[in-house]
A and B are shown apart, each in its own frame.
Chain A
Amino acid sequence: MALQTNRRFSTWIGGFLLVVPSIAAVAVFVYGMIAWTVRISMTDRISASIKEPKFVGLQNYSNLISDSRFTHAFENLLKFTFVFIVGTTIAGFIMALLLEKGIKGEGFFRSFYLYPLAISFIAMGTVWNWLLNSNVDADAGGLNLLLQKAGLGFLQNSWYLSENGAAYALALPAIWQMAGYVLALFLAGFRGIPDDLREAARVDGASESKIYRYVLFPQLTPTLFTVLIILGHVSMKVFDLIIGINGKSYVTQVVAVYMWESTFDQRNYAKGTAIAVVLLLLIALIIVPYLRWVIKQEEENR
């Protein structure tokens, strides 16, 4: 008995030693840094001239609420996130639905739609900056010109330069990039459903549309959940796409861009770190319930 415990312990310690370096690295470089950031965010290091920062509690956080630039960036982020998630999910889902039947050249289409994912946000931002040219009618270029040629001239608009529509317009390139990824996820979801289920439904006399509605779609709920989580946290962190398209311009600023500006341009470390912590909490709000759900699923399956 004692021997058995001993052996179990020795295998355990062996495995444990193997992961020690990564645990230590994560502890210092992830959790240690988070703790450091939280610490700075509770001091008054609001400019480079403050050499001995004092503890001010949650002052920086309450300042953010009344900071019109932060609320502007936050509003932009919410608008962007909404359009991005809804648009990407719907586009990806429809494409998956079309490919799901196993059409000819499926492999080609799958990689074709996935390729945008391989482009860096910065390069993509530069190209979309041209595509989203705000000139209309005679001076039009990019999408506006395309719309004109397609006889849809009335749809032309100033894209990311319009005061209220900027954040929505920025979601376009993001949707373009991520839709292929969502397609792949949904397609894998469809493939994961056993054919028996369809066969059984057909034998029971269900029409094709009813099979989708009542048999296949409900099975995709976990996939949908995963898609929403992935898109949600990608969206919260969006930074390089915005910089690539429109630099640090006020009109398209989101939370991460304002964080950069506060920290490195204004040199207001306290504000910058407070924004970083808010962003972290927002992402945690999405990720943590998801992780709990995944762990619960795993335990149920065991």
Chain B
Amino acid sequence: MRKGTYKFVAGLFAIALLAAGCSSSSDSASEETASEESAEVVADPELEIFTWWAAGGEAAGLAGLEAEFAANNPDTKYINAAISGGAGVNAKAVLQSRLDANDPPDSFQAHAGMELDGYVKGGQLEDLTFLYKEQGWDTIFPADLVKTLTVDGKIYSVPVNIHRANVLWWNPATAEKAGITAAPATLDEFFAALDKFKKIGIPGLALAGKGDWAIAHLLDWMLLATLGPDAFEGLFNGNTSWTGPEVEAALKNFQKALSYGNKGAGNLDWPDAGKLVTSGKAGFFIMGDWASAQWQADGLTLGTDYTWAPAPGTVGVYQWLSDSFTLPVGAKHRNAGIAWLTVAGSKAGQDAFNPKKGSIPARTDADTALYDDYLKAAMEQWKTDRLVGSTVHGVTGNNALMAAYNAAVGKYFSGGAKDNKGLAADLQAAYDAGQA
């Protein structure tokens, strides 16, 4: 009797598994026919766009892009599948499970560059080179940018904006009090200015340690400032050693800069640290130019409440990151997806998106009148500066490298910023993790 029960349960288990297997295979079959059908239809009924832009200027920018799309594609219904959470902390996990389940959105947001590496190697993205040719983007986007986006001769994403990572921010009133008259252009000038802030009794540098990435962002700048753009890029193609004397010098500078930081930095997210600067409680802040958009949303005025310069030691270098859109393999509304990408890369689309998001267009021919003074200046430098990718924001390293890079810096920082050798070894390990 009992033995019979077990057999019965085992049988049920097998049936249940079979049923699960059958249902999933029939699902994918029906999807295939659906996508074949839609290939023949010109206008898709729907378009599903996946982003992590759920609030603030980002959501407003996306809405601008959506309006532009709707004007060009009146028959397609736009579905916003945004998942909130800064830098895509939640969205990336959801996206990944959807891609793995062969249920991709019609286009999704991702940082341009190596962050796409996993999707590309996994065969989850379509090659968009044809669209670049068709739209002439290969000549309208800067050559350095197109070079970075190209993997083995193919391009997998359309950059809709450019953010600058290496920006120095400060409050003019505080600087005046400390006797700082000009923006520090070199690291030596920078450290001298930090000392001046120290003399008036405030920390020279605002740090945000929560989640590790903002400190890693600082290291990314320091590596670039100390090594220069060529050796910096060498770190990510194997030409510069992570454990050599150049990085050792950079880490020494990094350690010195951290020593000017505010107390209790580990509790702070970047907006909290930024507030220290705008309210005169700390001197400098090194953060991407999304800080400017945030402060303007807070009601502050560029030029009086805060001002900016290229981060010391990196004048003439534009360390960039870019939000871009992709075309996943197996997208249910491929035509609508392509129409979306066309809008995202167009002059009208980029000018609708960027003034609201607080970033500059990737295109070099945008309408400067729409942008504020910072963005205007950034657009000029974007055309003339040497372009170098950001590590922490997914240009130079893939997801595995970024995760390990942030953790290595977090370990160093929470350990009191003492173990430079250990940090170098951890950074080397992070680079290796990215190669796997």
Interface residues of A (CB under 8 A from B): 20, 23-24, 27-28, 31-32, 46-49, 51, 69, 72, 129, 132-136, 139, 158, 160-161, 163, 166, 246-251, 253, 260-261, 263-268
Chain B residues near A160: list those with CB within 8 A: 266
Chain A residues near B436: list those with CB within 8 A: 46-47
Q: Are A23 and B12 in contact (CB under 8 A)?
A: yes
Main secondary structure of the interface of B (DSSP, over half): helix
Q: Are A24 and B16 in contact (CB under 8 A)?
A: yes
Tell yes or no: B192 within 8 A of A by CB.
Answer: no
User: Which residues 255-273 of B have a CB within 8 angstroms of A?
Assistant: 263-264, 266-267
Q: List 8 A-B contacts (CB under 8 A).
A: A23-B12, A27-B16, A32-B17, A48-B118, A134-B266, A139-B263, A249-B209, A266-B400
Q: Whole-angstrom distance between the alpha carbons of A268 and B96 in the complex?
A: 12
Task: Give B370 Cβ to nearest chain A Cβ, in Å.
Answer: 35
Interface residues of B (CB under 8 A from A): 9, 12-13, 15-17, 20, 89, 92-93, 96, 117-119, 121-124, 209-212, 263-264, 266-267, 399-400, 402-404, 406-407, 410-411, 414-416, 433, 436
Q: Are A247 and B211 in contact (CB under 8 A)?
A: yes
Q: Whole-angstrom distance between the alpha carbons of A49 and B436 in the complex?
A: 9
Most central of A20, A129, A246, A267 by chain B CB within 10 Å: A267
Chain B residues near A133: list those with CB within 8 A: 264, 267
One of B12, B404, B414 near A251 (C-beta < 8 A): B414
Q: Are A139 and B264 in contact (CB under 8 A)?
A: yes
Q: Are B13 and A251 in contact (CB under 8 A)?
A: no
Q: Whole-angstrom distance between the alpha carbons of A135 and B433 in the complex?
A: 35
Q: Whole-angstrom distance between the alpha carbons of A267 and B118 in the complex?
A: 8
Q: Whole-angstrom distance between the alpha carbons of A135 and B118 in the complex?
A: 40
Task: Give A275 Cβ to nearest chain B Cβ, in Å.
Answer: 14
Which A residue sits closest to B99, measured CB to CB?
A48
Q: Are A20 and B20 in contact (CB under 8 A)?
A: no
Whether A251 contacts B403 in the complex (CB less than 8 A), given A46-B436, A51-B122, comes out as no
Q: A23-B9, A32-B16, A250-B410 are in contact. List 7 more A-B contacts (CB 8 A).
A: A48-B117, A48-B124, A139-B263, A166-B414, A260-B93, A266-B399, A268-B400
Which B residue sits closest to A251, measured CB to CB?
B414
Whether A249 contacts B212 in the complex (CB less than 8 A), given A51-B122, A129-B267, A161-B414, comes out as yes
Q: Are A249 and B118 in contact (CB under 8 A)?
A: no
Task: Give B422 Cβ to nearest chain A Cβ, in Å.
Answer: 10
Q: Are A266 and B264 in contact (CB under 8 A)?
A: no
Q: Are B12 and A24 in contact (CB under 8 A)?
A: yes
